[in-house]
Amino acid sequence: MHASVNRRSLLLGLGAVGASLYFQDYQATQRLSSNQTDADFAPEIQRRLNEAVDRRLNSDNIPGAIIGVWMPGQGRWLAAKGISDRRTQTPMQLDNHFRIGSVTKTTTITAILQLAELQQLSLQDPVGKYLPFVPNGEKITLEMLANMTSGLYSYTFDPDFQYQLKSNPSRVWKPRELVEIAFTHGPQAAPGSKWEYNNTNTVLLAMVVERVARKPLQQVFQEQIFTPLGLRHTIFPTTATLPTPYTHGYTEQTLDGQQGDASFWNPSWAWGTGNLISTLEDLKIYAGAIATGKGLISSATQQYRLTWATLPPNTQYYRYGIGIVYNQGWLGHTGSLPGYNTVMFHLPEKDTTMVIMANSDICANQKTPCPGAVAGDHVSAHPRKHPSDTPVLTVKPRR
């Protein structure tokens, strides 16, 4: 779960959005009436999209994927591709549940922002105010945890942790156990001096949420995020089970390096940084809410959320904010963990949403650096090597 991961969903996103450049011609010639916003794209657009994604699935041996593109006034494209279970050859379904990895980070940090609006905390507070055991805790603010500039070590980089997870994926981890692994390595940089995508940061923020709200994290998510948005199929799992229908996830992040089924790995090791389960339709709703703040936080707080870290490798085109990614105008997040990849972005300018969910985290080719989802729960493109740099955002709708 760190910045340099496989590129299965990344390449799938490239194929899908590359084809979606054809939308430019489409939107210039055809518009739907306001009561036809759920109509499908024209047959020719759908054909091109299908061909692009099918080529990617075949060339990279991706078992299956679910893709949704929604462009109000233009139409939509929904596709369930390939299979969800290699053993039974069960076809993928649009309503399948997926593990969504680091999209969870946006939820934890939304809860932090909501508590700030209630004046129960400030993002300028040092984390040591709430969790006195954090090294440099008197100097690391909640904002630094949220925008990945804390200087702490990510527990998912720890070789012993990776070995334990792979050798016993059913183990139930406690949040304190996870962060203590990071603390054995000591701070990696002075607070606020370096940007590095880091799972320890979000686990600590989730612990702060529980401490301040005085409720379990899953209850906070349900009451403050899932229910208000009507996310009926988004789940904070407390066991390794998946709701039906679900998609099997395939990985090579195993002790022997052979392909395995990670569907029922216990997600407690990812907790508030990457353990959520969701569906295509729920992520469509959630993408818009995260990008705009509507239904979650005030417009002023949303503007604060869009305060971008200016340290390298962030640039004016690709950057990280308060638990949100900016990529050429698109806002959202990605998530990867053993067996699963998710891409979720919204373009506020066009009210356009794209969600891609694939059931593999296996490298697309041997040339791509691929330490695996255990080490990184965020898709990173090559050669920029920036966690917000996923080609899902290469589409530039005509103004």
pLDDT, tens digit, 9 for 90 and up, residues 199-251: 999 999 999 999 999 999 999 999 999 999 999 999 999 999 999 999 999 99
What the block records as the tokens of 140 is 């690391």
Q: Quick one: pLDDT at residue 73?
A: 85
Any idea which fold 8-393 has? Beta-lactamase (3.40.710)
What one-character DSSP code corresponds to residue 196? -
Banded pLDDT at 29 (limits 50, 70, 90): very low
Higher pLDDT, 325 or 380: 325
Q: Quick one: pLDDT at residue 362?
A: 87
What the block records as the tokens of 238 is 């407390």
Q: How far is it between the farthest Cα atoms of the chain?
A: 60
Domain ranges of the chain: 8-393
What the block records as the tokens of 333 is 């997040």
Higher pLDDT, 391 or 195: 195
Q: Quick one: pLDDT at residue 36?
A: 53
Q: Quick one: pLDDT at residue 57?
A: 86
Banded pLDDT at 33 (limits 50, 70, 90): low
d(CA 254, CA 372): 10
What is the distance of C-alpha 285 from the center of its chain? 14
Highest mean pLDDT of the ranges 37-46, 377-386, 387-396: 37-46
pLDDT above 60 for 21: no
**Mean of pLDDT over the chain:** 86
Q: Quick one: pLDDT at residue 178?
A: 98
For 260-318, the pLDDT digits (tens) are 999 999 999 999 999 999 999 999 999 999 999 999 999 999 999 999 999 999 999 99
Q: By percentage, how much of the chain surpasses pLDDT 70?
A: 82
Strands (E), the chain: 64-71, 75-85, 90-91, 98-99, 250-251, 260-261, 277-278, 318-320, 325-327, 330-337, 340-347, 352-358
d(CA 274, CA 348): 25
pLDDT above 50 for 69: yes
Higher pLDDT, 398 or 363: 363
Q: Quick one: pLDDT at residue 216?
A: 98
Q: By percentage, how much of the chain surpasses pLDDT 90?
A: 75
Q: Quick one: pLDDT at residue 31?
A: 57
Contact 55/15 with Cβ under 8 angstroms?
A: yes
d(CA 204, CA 179): 7
d(CA 248, CA 277): 12
For 154-180, the pLDDT digits (tens) are 999 999 999 999 999 999 999 999 999
Mean pLDDT in residue range 35-52: 83
pLDDT above 50 for 378: no
For 98-127, the pLDDT digits (tens) are 999 999 999 999 999 999 999 999 999 999
